[in-house]
Amino acid sequence: MNEVLMKVQDLSKHFTIETNFLGKPLSVLKAVDEVSFTIKKGEAFGLVGESGCGKTTLGKILVDLYSPTSGKIFFEGKELSALNKKQRRSYCKDIQMIFQDPYASLNPRMTIGDIIAEPIIINNLLPPSEVEERVIYLLNCVGLARHQRNRYPHEFSGGQRQRVGIARALAVEPKLIVCDEPVSALDVSIQAQVLNLLDDLKAEFGLTYLFIAHGLNVVKHISDRVGVMYLGKLMEIAPKRELYANPLNPYTQALLSAIPIINPEKKKERIILKGDVPSPINPPSGCRFCSRCFKELDRCKLNAPALREVSPDHWVACHLYD
């Protein structure tokens, strides 16, 4: 499990919000700002952060829905970011995505069978005579039945639709699946079903996940390593047990302490952060978190801390550990 599947180097995505009449950018939203990490083959890499931290943007860059402003992406040693559009598209077979909202991610005018067959057909993966058999196989894999093949998405519940979305991603036999909040739109009793399904499929097909979520308990359950994002920056990366037991970055500490614990007897000491997440259009200079940090140092305002390995496999971006 130590082979690197994907390596991301100084990846940035900036959106221009306003330009002057000559087309020169006036204000820029730094959704993802010089992020680096690696995903190992066969692992589930969790990415947590609050809304607007850029985790979804990052996931969408990896599946080529956005092109990065700068930085490099390597997949199995090949630099994806250097490929042209056509070459890049051939990699969609290897990197797939599961979307957050099962109500919006399926074309309402297509039957679920056609939705699952489409990636096989357009990528010419199987001769036409074998496509149908494969569709039925995939439906069974995700716990749906053959007779439902010709139904439309609106006839299904959220959990079932998410299963269709998973089957669509599996259809091209990808190596990496970017799971963008795959359970946050589902009911609690259905979340466990989908999480278990994802776990099973990972073992069965030897998949690697980039698991994006805001629910820290969900990420902890499914991931091997976890990265914490805040305002477009990676704040901390560590194996999950290490991160949850020994969070170093004050933001990670606050985030962990804010999760409600399902045990009313165990009232824990809570770090209530002051204020709101600042706008990513005008992020604080220096460390992005310094406006809300409770352990702020003088230099935090001046320069941004780099992500450094402070103990084996535990990376943190914070001046407290310089």
Partner 1 sequence: MPKDISTSSDKNSIQAAEYVEKPESQLKEMWATLRQNKAAVVGLFIIGMLTLIAVTVWVSELIGVQILPYDPNYSDMSKSFIWPNAEHWFGTDQLGRDMFSRILDGTKISLFVGVAAVAISLSIGVLLGSIAGYRGGRTDAFIMRVMDVMLAIPSILLAIAFMAALGKGLDKAVIAIGLVSIPEYARIVRGSILSVKENDYVQAAKVIGNGDSRIIFKHILPNIISLIVVRATLGVSSAVLDTAALGFLGLGVQPPFAEWGDMLGRARGFIFTAPYTLIFPGIAITITVLAFNLFGDGLRDALDPKSRIK
Partner 2 sequence: MLLEVKNLRTEFKLKRGTVTAVDDISFTIDKGEILAIVGESGSGKSVTSLSIMGLLQKPGRVAGGEINFKSQDLNKMSQKELQKIRGNQISMIFQEPMTSLNPVWRIKDQIMENIMTHMNISKKDALARTVEMLDTVGIPSPAERANDYPHQMSGGMRQRVMTAMALSCDPELLIADEPTTALDVTIQAQILELLYRMREKFNMAVLLITHDLGVVSEAADRVIVMYCGKIVEEADVKSLFAQPLHPYTVGLLKSIPQIDDESDERLYMIKGMVPNPLNMPSGCSFSDRCDSCMDRCTKEVPKLQEINGHKVRCFLYEAKEGELNVK
**Residue 108 sits in the site that holds partner 2 (CB under 8 A):** no
* 240 or 314: CB nearest partner 2: 240
Binding to partner 2 (CB under 8 A): which residues in 210-229?
214-218, 220-222
**Residue 141 sits in the site that holds partner 2 (CB under 8 A):** no
Q: Give Cα separations from 168 to 21, 98, 119 (angstroms).
A: 43, 9, 7
Considering only 2, 51, 84, 150, the residue that binds partner 2 (CB under 8 A) is 51
d(CA 283, CA 32) in angstroms, rounded, equals 12
**Residue 264 sits in the site that holds partner 1 (CB under 8 A):** no
* 80 or 255: CB nearest partner 2: 255
**Residue 276 sits in the site that holds partner 2 (CB under 8 A):** yes
**Residue 261 sits in the site that holds partner 2 (CB under 8 A):** yes
Binding to partner 1 (CB under 8 A): which residues in 86-105?
89, 92-93, 96-97, 99-101, 103-105
Burial 97-125 (b: 16+ CB within 10 A, else e): bbbbebeebbeeeebbbebbbbbbeeeee
**Residue 41 sits in the site that holds partner 1 (CB under 8 A):** no
**Of these partners, partner 1, partner 2, none, which one is at the site of residue 306 (CB under 5 to 8 Å by kind)?**
none
Tell me which residue of 55, 102, 12, 8 sits closest to 213, measured CA to CA. Answer: 55
d(CA 25, CA 14) in angstroms, rounded, equals 11
Show the 3-state SS of 157-185: CHHHHHHHHHHHHHCCCCCEEEEECCCCC
Considering only 152, 239, 284, 320, the residue that binds partner 1 (CB under 8 A) is 152
**Count of residues touching partner 2 (by CB under 8 A):** 43
Q: Which stretch binds partner 2 (CB under 8 A): 10-18, 54-62, 163-171, 188-196?
A: 188-196
d(CA 254, CA 294) in angstroms, rounded, equals 9
Q: Which two tokens stand for residue 151?
A: 């139904």
Q: Which two tokens stand for residue 258?
A: 């804010």
Concatenated DSSP letters of 210-223: EEEES-HHHHHHH-
* 56 or 160: CB nearest partner 2: 160
**Of these partners, partner 1, partner 2, none, which one is at the site of residue 68 (CB under 5 to 8 Å by kind)?**
none
Concatenated DSSP letters of 225-260: EEEEEETTEEEEEEEHHHHHHS--SHHHHHHHHHSP
Q: Which two tokens stand for residue 182?
A: 């795959």
Handedness of CA 243, 249, 251, 253 (dihedral sign): positive
Q: Using an 8 Å Cβ cutoff, are 252 and 74 in contact?
A: no
**Residue 31 sits in the site that holds partner 2 (CB under 8 A):** no
**Residue 60 sits in the site that holds partner 1 (CB under 8 A):** yes
**Residue 270 sits in the site that holds partner 2 (CB under 8 A):** yes
Q: State the minimum distance, in angstroms, from the CB of residue 77 to partner 2.
A: 30
* 117 or 256: CB nearest partner 2: 256
Q: Is 218 buried (19+), middle (13-18) or exposed (0-12) by CB count in 10 A?
A: buried
Considering only 34, 50, 76, 118, the residue that binds partner 1 (CB under 8 A) is 118
Considering only 241, 295, 301, 308, the residue that binds partner 2 (CB under 8 A) is 241
Q: Which residues bind partner 1 (CB under 8 A)?
A: 60, 63-65, 89, 92-93, 96-97, 99-101, 103-109, 111, 118-119, 122-123, 144-152, 154-158, 160, 165, 168, 171-172
- Residues near partner 2 (CB under 8 A) are 50-51, 157, 159-160, 187-193, 195-196, 199, 214-218, 220-222, 241, 244, 254-265, 270, 272-273, 275-277
